[in-house]
């Protein structure tokens, strides 16, 4: 089913139709799991994320970072393919830095949102990056969700990722206007914890990022959920000889190896 034409190929479409007819199955998509959230409180924005990175059904990284730097006053949580979220946020961060150098002014949250949505829309969803963008600029605290196809929402609180429904249930029950910093951090932590405990794609620990007009506080591993619930009171000692030695071989140390020293030819 190989085509020699230089036009757009349809070999995979023919293959997929054949698989669907004979086996009743079509090739699936690789899915990733995450819980990312954000909310606006009285003085700024609080972002939160879990720290589990998955490769299919395998946990690839137990303590990865999903809250990405965009500008000194703007950060972004990423859900989806790790390479896509890291590279897209890094690219936009670079563009905003050049813009700050050229203008000498602080980056706007709306500028970051526009650059991100324009880039994602251009690729029609093939870049797997679902983002929660938050920051504080001259217009005050702002929070946006950006979907992989390029659509956006501006909300006082939002969730994204495979654990978003669990986190949204916590937000709907606990969010209120004019929250304090401590109340915002506590609500974000509980929302992420809900995703960690109820979504298989989310897990490990809770990262929190607090953004205000005075600066950013990144609380890495704000809540450690991977701690062991039990530890031995006495160290287990295994006596020598417990395991049978089947074969033994001794290797000489470096000091015992012969060293052949050759003089350098300096005649020329």
d(C-alpha 50, C-alpha 223), whole Å: 10
d(CA 57, CA 231): 28
| Alpha-carbon span 98 to 102, nearest angstrom | 6
CA dihedral 240, 243, 246, 249 (to 10 degrees): -40
77, containing H or E segment: strand 74-80
* Strand pairing class (58-61; 44-50): unpaired
CB 80 within 8 A of CB 128: yes
Annotated catalytic residue, options 30, 32, 34, 242:
34
CA gap 145, 255 in Å, rounded: 64
Annotated catalytic residue 180:
no
CB–CB of 47/157 below 8 Å?
Answer: no
- Tokens in use for 105? 């002014």
Alpha carbon of residue 116 to chain centroid:
16
Residue 198 DSSP SS3? helix
Q: Give the CA angle between residues 218, 220, 224 to the nearest 5°.
A: 145
User: How far is it, in rounded angstroms, from Cα 154 to Cα 176?
Assistant: 17
Q: Do residues 83 and 247 make contact, with C-beta atoms less than 8 angstroms apart?
A: no
Active site residues: 34
């Amino acid at each position: 089913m190989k085509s020699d034409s230089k036009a757009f190929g349809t070999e995979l479409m023919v293959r997929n139709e054949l698989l669907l007819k004979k086996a009743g199955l079509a090739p699936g998509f690789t899915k990733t799991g995450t819980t990312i959230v954000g909310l606006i409180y009285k003085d700024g924005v609080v972002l939160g994320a879990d720290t589990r990175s998955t490769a299919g059904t395998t946990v690839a990284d137990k303590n990865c970072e999903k809250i990405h730097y965009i500008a000194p006053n703007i950060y972004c949580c990423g859900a989806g393919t790790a390479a896509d979220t890291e590279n897209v946020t890094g690219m936009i961060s670079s563009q905003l830095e050049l813009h700050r150098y050229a203008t000498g002014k602080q980056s706007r949250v709306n500028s970051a949102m526009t650059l991100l949505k324009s880039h994602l829309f251009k690729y029609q969803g093939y870049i797997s990056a679902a983002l929660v963008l938050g920051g504080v600029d001259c217009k005050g605290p702002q929070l946006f969700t950006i979907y992989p196809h390029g659509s956006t929402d501006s909300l006082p609180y939002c969730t994204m990722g495979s654990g978003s429904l669990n986190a949204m249930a916590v937000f709907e029950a606990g969010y209120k206007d004019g929250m304090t910093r401590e109340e915002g951090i506590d609500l974000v932590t509980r929302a992420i914890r809900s995703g960690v405990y109820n979504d298989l794609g989310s897990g490990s620990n809770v990262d929190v990022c607090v953004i205000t007009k005075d600066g950013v506080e990144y609380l890495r591993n704000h809540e450690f959920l991977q701690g062991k619930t039990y530890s031995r009171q006495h160290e287990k000692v295994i006596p020598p000889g417990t395991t049978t030695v089947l074969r033994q071989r001794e290797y000489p140390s470096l000091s015992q190896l012969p060293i052949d020293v050759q003089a350098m030819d300096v005649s020329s």
